[in-house]
């Protein structure tokens, strides 16, 4: 087969999935031909190691008319047997055989405070339509969890028989740990990631203020590259006079490794996730995880997390305190976390994806909705 991987998300928050998929497909598949479509800015970030793989620049911007027309034309000229869109964004009129990865439907359910409300609401409507069209016209759909599978089936009306779950994974950071001197010797809980509304950071900060009543020296470390939302949260924290909240901005992998290894708990307060990679990443580095019980998180974290209701600030504070104060519970979570992470593998995900390609190319071009 000639397979095109639309990898325009190479440097985005979904990039780890795309990069890991390409890495392990190179390792396991020496039969099929692969064309990796990258944004021009990412062309120097990857070089093929398998002679059956090549990269081609794809200048067509997501959510644009150029994507609908220019990318469609580019794909038609490449004449692939199969196209894998690693995100739902795609030319809806492309008629070739398609597999689509649908990571989650979170964007449809939460606003973006940095965007114009009316414009973003319109984009959500368009995005919802694209999700439905992509789900129906793709030969097979890939999701990272059973939760997302069921969510996609309910939203788009496709048959569950059309969806394949390929579990993702976490990576051990190989860089040496880099101590963050201001935090050395101090007790802190940790959050890593973006500050989008569904990440539920305001309630985490509120739970932290409750915790400080019994743990006055505790610090909350929020690690993530500054953007407009992070700046607003930081300003709100300062205006309220909440002490001991540390915003790191961008940090190196070595510093992140040190944070995981030295935190009292990794806290995952999210209201919605498609997979929830940071929890597994914390586990692989020996951090006990205290997690929201929303959406897919119990499915991914299993019994290796201490769960709370993400809408209940007091429950969140109590469950974090449980892990900080109970050494036995903390050690149990760390041990269970190591076992839980071992259930996931990027290489197995790539093998499962290759199976999806083979199944898609031999399946009928269209499958009825429910």
Q: pLDDT (tens digit, 9 = 90+) per residue, 101-126?
A: 999 999 898 887 777 788 888 888 88
Give the DSSP letter of residue 39: -
Cα distance between residue 59 and residue 77, in whole Å: 15
Cα distance between residue 348 and residue 359, in whole Å: 16
46-70 pLDDT tens trace: 999 999 999 999 999 887 889 999 9
Q: Which helix (H) or strand (E) holds 93?
A: none
Considering Cα of 44, then 46, then 49, then 54, what sign does the dihedral take? negative
Does the structure show a pLDDT above 60 at 203?
Answer: yes
Shortest CA distance to 257 belongs to which of 346, 136, 171? 171
Q: Which two tokens stand for residue 82?
A: 């199969």
* Average pLDDT, rounded, for the chain: 94
- Stretch among 117-131, 137-151, 177-191, 295-309 having the lowest mean pLDDT: 117-131
- Stretch among 117-131, 155-169, 250-264 having the lowest mean pLDDT: 117-131
Phi, psi torsion values for 97, nearest 5 degrees: -70, 130
pLDDT of residue 175: 96
Start-end of CATH 3.40.50.2000 domains in the chain? 2-169+346-362, 181-341
pLDDT of residue 368: 43
**What does pTM read for this prediction?**
0.93
pLDDT of residue 111: 80
pLDDT of residue 97: 97
Q: Which two tokens stand for residue 289?
A: 């995880």
223-233 pLDDT tens trace: 998 888 898 99
Does the structure show a pLDDT above 60 at 369?
Answer: no
Cα distance between residue 54 and residue 33, in whole Å: 8
Shortest CA distance to 82 belongs to which of 166, 6, 158? 6
Cα distance between residue 296 and residue 148, in whole Å: 7
Does the structure show a pLDDT above 70 at 81?
Answer: yes
Cα Rg for the chain, rounded, in angstroms?
21
Shortest CA distance to 168 belongs to which of 24, 303, 26? 24
Does the structure show a pLDDT above 50 at 367?
Answer: no
Whether the CB-CB separation of 178 and 257 falls below 8 Å is answered with yes
Instruction: Please name the CATH architecture into which domain 181-341 falls.
Output: 3-Layer(aba) Sandwich (3.40)
Mean pLDDT confidence for 285-296: 98
Mean pLDDT confidence for 80-90: 96
Whether the CB-CB separation of 20 and 98 falls below 8 Å is answered with no
Does the structure show a pLDDT above 60 at 370?
Answer: no
Of all residues in the chain, the percent with pLDDT exceeding 90 is 86
Q: Which two tokens stand for residue 41?
A: 């800015």
Which CATH number is associated with domain 2-169+346-362?
3.40.50.2000
Mean pLDDT confidence for 8-27: 93
Does the structure show a pLDDT above 50 at 245?
Answer: yes
Whether the CB-CB separation of 249 and 222 falls below 8 Å is answered with no
Shortest CA distance to 84 belongs to which of 67, 102, 72, 99? 99
Whose structure tokens read 């890495």? 23
pLDDT of residue 267: 98
Whether the CB-CB separation of 1 and 357 falls below 8 Å is answered with yes
């Amino acid at each position: 087969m000639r397979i095109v991987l639309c990898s325009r998300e190479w440097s985005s928050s979904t990039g780890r999935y795309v990069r890991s998929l390409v890495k392990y497909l190179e390792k396991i598949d020496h039969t099929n031909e692969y064309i990796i479509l990258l944004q021009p800015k990412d062309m120097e970030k990857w070089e093929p190691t398998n002679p059956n793989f090549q990269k081609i620049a794809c200048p067509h911007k997501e959510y644009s008319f150029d994507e609908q027309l220019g990318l469609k034309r580019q794909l038609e000229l490449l004449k692939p047997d199969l196209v894998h869109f690693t995100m739902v964004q795609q030319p809806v009129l492309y008629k070739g055989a398609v597999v689509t990865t649908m990571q989650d439907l979170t964007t449809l359910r939460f606003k973006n405070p940095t965007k114009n409300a009316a414009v973003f609401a319109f984009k959500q409507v368009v995005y919802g339509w694209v999700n439905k069209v992509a789900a129906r016209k793709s030969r097979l759909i890939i999701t990272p969890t059973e939760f997302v599978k069921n969510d996609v089936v309910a939203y788009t009306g496709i048959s569950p028989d059309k969806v394949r779950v390929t579990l993702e994974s976490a990576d051990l950071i190989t860089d040496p740990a880099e101590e963050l001197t201001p935090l050395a010797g101090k007790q802190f809980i940790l959050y890593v990631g973006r500050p989008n509304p569904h990440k539920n950071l305001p309630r985490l900060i509120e739970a932290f203020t409750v915790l400080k009543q019994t743990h006055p020296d505790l610090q909350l470390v929020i690690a993530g590259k500054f953007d407009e939302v992070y700046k607003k949260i930081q300003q709100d924290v300062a205006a309220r006079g909440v002490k001991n909240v540390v915003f790191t901005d961008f940090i190196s992998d070595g510093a992140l490794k040190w944070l995981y290894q030295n935190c009292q708990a990794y806290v995952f307060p999210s209201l919605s996730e498609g997979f929830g990679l940071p929890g597994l990443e914390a586990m692989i580095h020996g951090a006990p995880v205290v997690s929201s019980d929303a959406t897919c998180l119990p499915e991914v974290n299993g019994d290796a997390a201490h769960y709370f209701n993400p809408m209940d600030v007091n429950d969140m504070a109590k469950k974090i305190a449980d892990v900080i104060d109970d050494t036995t519970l903390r050690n149990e979570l760390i041990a269970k976390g190591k076992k839980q992470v071992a259930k996931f593998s990027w290489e197995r995900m790539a093998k499962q994806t290759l199976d999806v390609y083979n199944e898609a190319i031999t399946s009928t071009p269209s499958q009825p909705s429910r």
